[in-house]
Amino acid sequence: MEFELRPAQPGNIFHGEETPELPIALRPQTDGEFVLAWTIRDVANALAAQGERRLRLSRRVGEVTERIPLRQALCGWYGIDVALQDATGRTLLTHNAAFALLPPDSRRGGLDSPYGSWWFSAHYGTSDPALA
């Protein structure tokens, strides 16, 4: 199984008007039934959400993208643990990640603002100044 996280926003940082979700591309090497499970915890390590999806995947169909919903009641930092299991419940892989939910972006400064930021446009960032 090939497992690829495809963040919907750079750094998994979502403003209030954006859809917080974590797309995961799954490319099966064999046909079978699988379970995609996740647990979300807040900054205090308290359980915020959990879920799972039962999937029937086949090589013939190829890549499938599953989207894990990340919306929470409160803005803030969250950790997410994702696991892929086979039909017997054996864990095939796990991945730990994080995301942040921010309130709506109310900044008024644009590219002519006297304030600036520096970012790694080639290292997990974006080359689009509007997103930075």
Question: Does residue 116 carry a pLDDT above 90?
Answer: no
Query: Are residues 70 and 99 in contact, defined by beta-carbon separation less than 8 angstroms?
Result: yes
* Side-chain-side CA neighbours of residue 87 (13 Å): 7
Nearest to 79 by CA among 51, 107, 99: 99
Reported confidence tier of residue 130, pLDDT bands at 50, 70, 90: low
The neighbouring-strand residues paired with 65 are 25
Cβ contacts of 7 within 8 Å, gap of 6 or more: 22, 23
What digits encode the pLDDT tens for the residues 33-76? 999 999 999 999 999 999 999 999 999 999 999 999 999 999 99
What digits encode the pLDDT tens for the residues 80-100? 999 999 999 999 999 999 999
